[in-house]
Amino acid sequence: MKAHSIPVLMALIAIPVAAASATFAADDVDLRTLRDEVARLRDTYEKRIDALEQRLVRAEAKAASTESVAANAAAPPQPTAMAGTNAFNPGISLILSGLYSNLSKDPAGYRITGFHLPSSPLADITPQRGFSLAESELGISANVDQLFYGAINFSIHPDDTVSTEEAFVQTTTLPQGLTLKAGRYFSGIGYLNEQHAHTWDFVDAPLAYQAFLGGQFNNDGVQLRWLAPSDSFLEIGAELGRGANYPGTNRNKNGSGASAIFARLGGDIGASNSWLAGLSLLSTSPQDRQWDDINAGGATVTNSFTGSSKLWIADGVWKWAPNGNANQTNFKLQGEYLRRSEDGNVIYNGASTGSYAARQSGWYVQGIYQFAPYWRVGLRSERLDSGTVDYGSNNANLLRPDYAPARNALMLDFNPSEFSRIRLQFAQDKSFQGLTDNQIFLQYQMSLGAHGAHKY
């Protein structure tokens, strides 16, 4: 602008001047006066232009230097456009999962030798050969109001049945570290029990979870948790509930059929390490809990247990990531020890009733190492101890195998984003006495919709 303005102004001035000089060409004096006048005018204009230009430069400099201050002063609040009736729609998330299994042994008649699983959880944990849809999950959650949060999780099984894994409401505003939950939820016992299947590090639940909890224990009831105000992590929780699921049974009775208590400690060691350790107790009182068994004579019989069942779980997790940055590499070591004692009566094949006392245990330990972005490798080793089982007067009828079911698994997974995972798993399963099942699994797990926030 500066470069052009002077010639333009000069031209504008020059036109009337030229016209004037033509009219009065004859008069030298006039001409001289006119020239002086023009020179004076030009001089004035140039001075004015110079002054203006200088002012402009100063103004530009000032504007530039105050730009940030102006930006600071004018706080632009975000105009957030809310979409009418949809604005309160809850968060929806969907888990899609599929599985290919190659088993060296026929899974028909699968058992965990020495452990009495009812037919329903047994069918759920029995692997299938070939292609199958794994568990799909639909989750819906939102804050209810200023006091409550609510969530539901449907599990859609490969055989087209749907079950409600979780459906609970939870307080958000109880003071002093308290949280109360009511409805159906995965019990807070152990480390893995609360975690949904799609966050597991292996295709299947550990053998001990399968043997003692039918895979995973959910309960209809109430749960209270308390987080201590201490500097390091201490959480205590208690639950009362229906206890309809294994190791409990459905009952026609007022009051609670299952109670649980758990306590956890945890913390950090430097920036790179964190840990969590817990102890829990699940007490249930199953009534007429039936299972199919092979008797001493080799015949198939159906027995039932009524009494009390207590399951202790000790769990520990340690996670490492350099400087706490898990993006490149990280490591997780996790282990749990489960011990169950059951006392009561067993009715042998609908006929003779005898006392029953069993002390059984199991453990697993697993390590997961992310060796490069997206890629993780994991190893899990596990073993059950069928322990001591006393059928009282039925000891002659029922077998008490001295066998320790065991399984080892190796997995490799590829996680192209937070939302997708493809996993290859090899396992050698010796949970059924006399059989070694070599298993190969190929699995995908994808999540879409609302961004899940996962527990530690």
Q: What is the DSSP string of 131-178?
A: EEE--EEEEEEEE-SSSEEEEEEEEE-TTS-EEEEEEEEEES--STTE
Q: How far is CA 179 from CA 259, 280, 385, in A?
A: 17, 18, 36
Tokens found for residue 198: 């799609």
226: contact with other proteins by CB under 8 A: yes
Of the chain, the end-to-end C-alpha distance in Å amounts to 63
Nearer to other proteins, 9 or 167 (CB): 167
Q: Within 13 Å, how many C-alpha atoms sit on residue 204's CB side?
A: 31
271: contact with other proteins by CB under 8 A: yes
- Of the ranges 2-10, 32-40, 161-169, 413-421, which one interacts with other proteins (CB under 8 A)? 413-421
Tokens found for residue 155: 């599990």
Interface pick for other proteins out of 225, 340, 380, 421 (rule CB under 8 A): 225
Nearest to 433 by CA among 384, 381, 396: 384
Interface pick for other proteins out of 54, 104, 327, 388 (rule CB under 8 A): 327
Nearer to other proteins, 335 or 354 (CB): 335
268: contact with other proteins by CB under 8 A: yes
Interface pick for other proteins out of 137, 165, 220, 235 (rule CB under 8 A): 235
Burial of 208 (0-12, 13-18, 19+ CB in 10 A): buried
Interface pick for other proteins out of 111, 242, 264, 430 (rule CB under 8 A): 264
Nearer to other proteins, 23 or 254 (CB): 254
Interface pick for other proteins out of 229, 297, 298, 434 (rule CB under 8 A): 229
314: contact with other proteins by CB under 8 A: no
Q: How far is the CB of 186 from other proteins (least distance, A)?
A: 14
200: contact with other proteins by CB under 8 A: no
Residues 8-27 that bind other proteins (CB under 8 A): none
Q: How far is CA 216 from CA 192, 219, 352, in A?
A: 8, 10, 32
Interface pick for other proteins out of 100, 374, 403, 426 (rule CB under 8 A): 374
Rounded Cα–Cα distance for residues 336 and 277 (Å): 10
Q: How far is the CB of 373 from other proteins (least distance, A)?
A: 5
Number of residues interacting with other proteins: please give it, by CB under 8 A: 75
Q: How far is the CB of 42 from other proteins (least distance, A)?
A: 37
Q: How far is the CB of 288 from other proteins (least distance, A)?
A: 20
Q: What is the DSSP string of 7-44?
A: HHHHHHHHHHHHHHHHHTTT-HHHHHHHHHHHHHHHHH
161: contact with other proteins by CB under 8 A: no
Interface pick for other proteins out of 276, 313, 338, 427 (rule CB under 8 A): 276
Buried b (16+ CB within 10 A) or exposed e, 55-92: eeeeeeeeeeeeeeeeeeeeeeeeeeeeeeeeeeeeee
Nearer to other proteins, 170 or 360 (CB): 170
380: contact with other proteins by CB under 8 A: no
319: contact with other proteins by CB under 8 A: yes
Tokens found for residue 96: 């899609």
* Interface pattern 415-434 for other proteins (x via CB under 8 A): --xxx---------------
- Of the ranges 1-9, 21-29, 360-368, 444-452, which one interacts with other proteins (CB under 8 A)? 444-452
- Of the ranges 41-49, 119-127, 234-242, 355-363, which one interacts with other proteins (CB under 8 A)? 234-242
- Of the ranges 25-33, 197-205, 220-228, 428-436, which one interacts with other proteins (CB under 8 A)? 220-228
* Interface pattern 282-311 for other proteins (x via CB under 8 A): -x----------------------------
* Interface pattern 240-259 for other proteins (x via CB under 8 A): x--------------xx--x
- Of the ranges 200-208, 232-240, 293-301, 376-384, which one interacts with other proteins (CB under 8 A)? 232-240
Q: What is the dihedral sign for C-alpha 315, 150, 155, 184? A: positive
What single-letter DSSP state applies at residue 90?
P
275 near 316, Cβ under 8 Å?
Answer: yes
Residues 61-90 that bind other proteins (CB under 8 A): 65, 68-69, 71-72, 75-78
Q: Hey, how many other C-beta atoms are within 10 angstroms of the C-beta on 297?
A: 8
Beta partners for 330?
A: 370
Rounded Cα–Cα distance for residues 88 and 142 (Å): 9
Interface pick for other proteins out of 179, 353, 428, 433 (rule CB under 8 A): 179
Rounded Cα–Cα distance for residues 418 and 412 (Å): 16
296 near 399, Cβ under 8 Å?
Answer: yes
